[in-house]
A and B are shown apart, each in its own frame.
Chain A
């Protein structure tokens, strides 16, 4: 397993009350796999993504990335591991408004690669996603679908083992959403795993496997019994 959670618990205290966001979740992603995580609002999907994305640590249980237990790492070490193995895509794209598409894509390598190298790679990735003629545009000059493709390019610049996407098609129309999912398929064909949190039927159709979370617990996880609401 590339990324794995074992019996993970995550609790929040909210106004004196303990909210259990994740309860005893064991979950794994294999290389090249496209996993969709579904579930009702508040079921813990984003929490799970943050844990396997090394942004957060569990209260109980363990998160393994390449067999390294994330809880044993310092914040700095976790950040480095995150930079080297994980790519993030967000619902709101979260591009830096003052940077061009190329600079946004190159951002993760700002301190690790030479300017020439990271710029070349950013331009190549943007071309790969059909944005070869938009590299010097700022996010405000791009459509939603284009922005999300810039975000995907950014998530890939470090050659991550897994791309984590939280509602990647949430702010896109259906056709644009389809294009984005097509990109995900191409990514997984290259051996990169994708974990996408979604409410979107379309995404589950594209996925190799669907995991359902209900009240912080893993429900059925076969594609045949995918959750349809």
Chain B
């Protein structure tokens, strides 16, 4: 005896494969239908999430931050050290960054301009650097925002004159986008020690999650404000949640479109399998006559439908991953930026492919198994 073949080990599977290869074009078309459905679900899903991630890179972690500003009823224009300590206590355990702000005269070749200047102790916690580095123990040197640096042609190492004092540029920041509490793009950042007064125009409270930010904001409000509004608290958590919600709906919509195409594909399998049961009536009759039970016939036809789903689904996954690399390099600059969600889309799309094969194969298979053998064998 020859070594065991597929037909010997998995007879039903082998029967199914041979039946499908009997009408290759038809089977291929049905599988392509499933593949298209899977591709639609997976790549639209990945498109949606890549788009969201690219937008989130712009929006950043703003939802996790809370901005605290002097309120209408505060006794002075800026926060004092004492008030800062109060806010710090209320915000605990969340960390905060206190910001000084000022306007100074910047002198350059083209004359003098008024320049916004921030005093921030550890700016690397808020901003990314594109050139140079923020010194660890920051006492001298300044940091220049992206836009200002570009317009004025400022680079690290350059000297900058502010209110008659000369500073050396230690770092230039990356574009921080628009959605920040403190926008450094058009500003200069100095060490806080370079400010005459220890008063603060705003405080940024950093949290790890949006939910935590909401709770922190609430704590600060109750601690600082009674009837008088001593502080104004800005939180973006609600906005961030709304944006997230929006993206979720966009994704669902895109996946919905994909799902519709999969349903269409399922119909084509239904059609192929129904045709097959009609064409193979006599064969079904023979199977029943030689002692195949209804369930065995059901199994054979279901296996065929599942194979169509499997072949289509696999092809769909391969193409989807290729499309995914394209989407990712387009939106995120990294073709292999597959995250958990995109893996879920791939696995989900694949299972939907097989599932729609099985579901649309179920009725024809059931019909085949219920066929009366006597009827089936009559010419």
Write the residues of chain A forming the contact surface with B, with a CB cutoff of 8 angstroms: 50, 53, 55-56, 75-76, 79-80, 82-84, 88, 90, 92, 94, 96-99, 103, 107-108, 110-111, 115-116, 119-120, 154, 158
Contacts and interface: CB of A to CB of B under 8 A. Distances in A.
A92 B283 CA distance: 11
B294 A80 contact: no
A163 to B, nearest CB: 12
Given A88-B289, A94-B282, A110-B11, A116 B1 contact: yes
B8 A108 contact: no
A119 B373 CA distance: 26
28 contacts: A55-B373, A55-B374, A79-B288, A79-B292, A80-B291, A80-B293, A82-B289, A84-B291, A92-B379, A94-B285, A94-B286, A96-B283, A98-B18, A98-B21, A107-B287, A108-B291, A110-B11, A110-B296, A111-B296, A115-B7, A115-B8, A115-B9, A115-B11, A116-B4, A119-B1, A119-B8, A120-B1, A158-B291
Contacts of A158: 291
Given A55-B289, A82-B291, A99-B15, 15 more contacts: A55-B374, A79-B288, A79-B294, A83-B291, A84-B291, A88-B290, A90-B286, A90-B377, A94-B282, A94-B377, A96-B286, A108-B290, A111-B296, A115-B9, A119-B8
Secondary structure call for the B interface: helix
Contact of A94 (B4, B283, B292): B283
Given A79-B293, A107-B290, A111-B296, A97 B374 contact: no
Given A115-B9, A120-B1, A56 B293 contact: no
Nearest first, the 7 A-B pairs at minimum CB distance are: A83-B291, A115-B8, A98-B18, A108-B290, A94-B286, A88-B289, A55-B373
A152 to B, nearest CB: 13
B289 A97 contact: no
Contacts of B15: 98-99
A96 B297 CA distance: 14
Interface in B286-308: 286-294, 296
Contacts, number: 69
Contacts of A99: 15, 18
Interface string B94-107: 00000000000000
B379 to A, nearest CB: 8
A55 to B, nearest CB: 5
B115 interface: no
B19 interface: yes
Interface in B44-80: none
Given A55-B374, A115-B8, A83 B283 contact: no
A179 B379 CA distance: 26
B22 interface: yes
Contact of B291 (A79, A90, A115, A116): A79
Interface string B10-47: 01000100110110000000000000000000000000
B277 to A, nearest CB: 15
Interface in B77-113: none
Contacts of A98: 15, 18-19, 21-22
A83 B292 CA distance: 8
B218 to A, nearest CB: 68
Nearest to A87: B290
B3 to A, nearest CB: 11
B217 to A, nearest CB: 68
A183 to B, nearest CB: 18
A158 B7 CA distance: 20
Nearest to A136: B2
Nearest to B21: A98
